[in-house]
Amino acid sequence: MHSDLVVAVIILWLQVSLLLWLSWLYFQRYQMTRPPIGVLNLGDVAVIIGGIILLPYLYLYLPRWLVLGLLALGLGSALYFTVEPILRSSISVWLVTLGLLLLDVGMAWRYGTQSLGFVIVNNIVLLLGSISIGVLWVQSGMKARDVALLAAFLTFYDYLSTSVLPLMDALFVRLANLPFVPALAWPIGQTGQLVSIGVGDLLLATLFPLVLYKAFSRSAGMIALGIEAAVITILLIGAGFDLMGKNFPVMVVLGPLMVLQYLYWRSRKGKERTTLQYKQAEALVRPTTSLGERI
């Protein structure tokens, strides 16, 4: 059992590392099509926080078919926006998006959500979805300040909902047998159990290095990327030796580190760069472009 747990943790760590690396490359290479939401600001962060508080209760008390529909809609949108800049052809984008969604549902129905086949497909869907949301938020002008505030909130929320209240336990029990389970996972041998990390933790880990890169510098983003990878590695090693308990609030560790990094770079670099300033500094637009843009 212990060796199977260690193997599962190593495989999960490789997938998290792949997510961080791919999100960094994707952010530099592709410009996603922005929905008509304007520039993300503090008001949008408040809406996001409201959604974080509300969604678990919706998932717990809505009929299962409606929960499945909400998960499919959210992940389907994320997949579409991720694949669109790569494939460009709208038919190809829809085929890939719908194909992955149907494959996820089919594997869950045919083999069960603890099967290796389902876990692989679901992990691919979640990896692409996490890249999509993280990159889209940053390219929509989200500030490092706003992400730091979101991380500070999630530090307390994750501790409260995971360690104090039974909310996260109940949520994962409810969603465990549905397609689109919102957790990157890997089976522990033939035990029928999984080692996993929640998609919310993955999203913040993906988002924060990118927003620091845009706001301050490439080095700020790369240092954040290294810190995220190191922290997640340590936490997964703890899980591999069965030191973390059944559910560990990852943001209790990641959140304060994100806030401290933001404060450090804000004091050192001063005001955050706008999106246009970031692009000009990274030679992503022509120098003759007007400096009038404010994001």
Confidence grade of residue 252 (pLDDT, cut at 50, 70, 90): very high
Q: CA-to-CA distance for 95 and 97, rounded, in angstroms?
A: 6
For residue 100, give every residue at least 6 positions away whose Cβ sits within 8 Å of its Cβ, in sequence order, or none: 79, 121, 124, 125, 128
Helix axes 199-215, 2-29, angle to 10 degrees: 40
Number of other residues whose CB lies within 10 A of the CB of residue 33: 10
The answer to the question of residue 221 being in a domain is yes
Task: Look at the chain and report how many structural domains it folds into.
Answer: 1
Say what the pTM is.
0.86
Q: What is the pLDDT of residue 290?
A: 42
Confidence grade of residue 244 (pLDDT, cut at 50, 70, 90): low
Q: Residue 287: pLDDT above 60?
A: no
Would you say 185 and 11 are in contact if contact means Cβ atoms under 8 Å apart?
no
Q: Residue 283: pLDDT above 80?
A: no
Would you say 194 and 5 are in contact if contact means Cβ atoms under 8 Å apart?
no
Q: What is the pLDDT of residue 284?
A: 60
The answer to the question of residue 290 being in a domain is no
Q: What is the pLDDT of residue 279?
A: 81
Output the CA angle 26-32-35, nearest 5 degrees: 150
The answer to the question of residue 193 being in a domain is yes
- Using the CB atoms, write b or e for 92-103: b if 16+ within 10 Å: ebeebbeebbeb
Q: What is the pLDDT of residue 70?
A: 92
Residues 44-57, mean pLDDT to the nearest whole number: 89
Q: What is the mean pLDDT of the chain?
A: 86
Q: What is the pLDDT of residue 291?
A: 40
Q: Which two tokens stand for residue 82?
A: 């991720």
Residue 258's domain comprises: 2-281
- Using the CB atoms, write b or e for 257-295: b if 16+ within 10 Å: bbbebbeebbeeeeebbbbbbbbbeeeeeeeeeeeeeeb
Least confident span in 117-121, 171-175, 211-215: 171-175
Residues 30-38, mean pLDDT to the nearest whole number: 67
Q: CA-to-CA distance for 201 and 150, rounded, in angstroms?
A: 12
Least confident span in 26-30, 200-204, 206-210, 236-240: 236-240
Q: What is the DSSP letter of 41?
A: -
Q: What is the pLDDT of residue 185?
A: 86
Q: CA-to-CA distance for 183 and 294, rounded, in angstroms?
A: 36
The answer to the question of residue 291 being in a domain is no
For residue 233, give every residue at least 6 positions away whose Cβ sits within 8 Å of its Cβ, in sequence order, or none: 13
Least confident span in 18-22, 194-198, 248-252: 194-198
Q: Residue 292: pLDDT above 50?
A: no
Confidence grade of residue 189 (pLDDT, cut at 50, 70, 90): confident
For 83-105, how does the pLDDT look when each residue is reduced to its tens digit (9 = 90+)?
A: 998 887 889 999 999 999 999 99
Q: What is the pLDDT of residue 286?
A: 46
For 122-263, strand residue ranges (E) read 183-187, 194-198
Q: Which two tokens stand for residue 161?
A: 């909902």
Residues 247-272, mean pLDDT to the nearest whole number: 92
Q: Residue 239: pLDDT above 80?
A: no
Q: Residue 294: pLDDT above 60?
A: no
The answer to the question of residue 289 being in a domain is no
Three-state DSSP at 194 gives strand
The answer to the question of residue 151 being in a domain is yes
For residue 147, give every residue at least 6 positions away whose Cβ sits within 8 Å of its Cβ, in sequence order, or none: 204, 207, 208, 211, 258, 262
Residues 10-23, mean pLDDT to the nearest whole number: 90
The answer to the question of residue 38 being in a domain is yes
Residues 207-229, mean pLDDT to the nearest whole number: 93
Would you say 161 and 56 are in contact if contact means Cβ atoms under 8 Å apart?
yes
The answer to the question of residue 34 being in a domain is yes
Confidence grade of residue 278 (pLDDT, cut at 50, 70, 90): confident
Q: Residue 207: pLDDT above 50?
A: yes
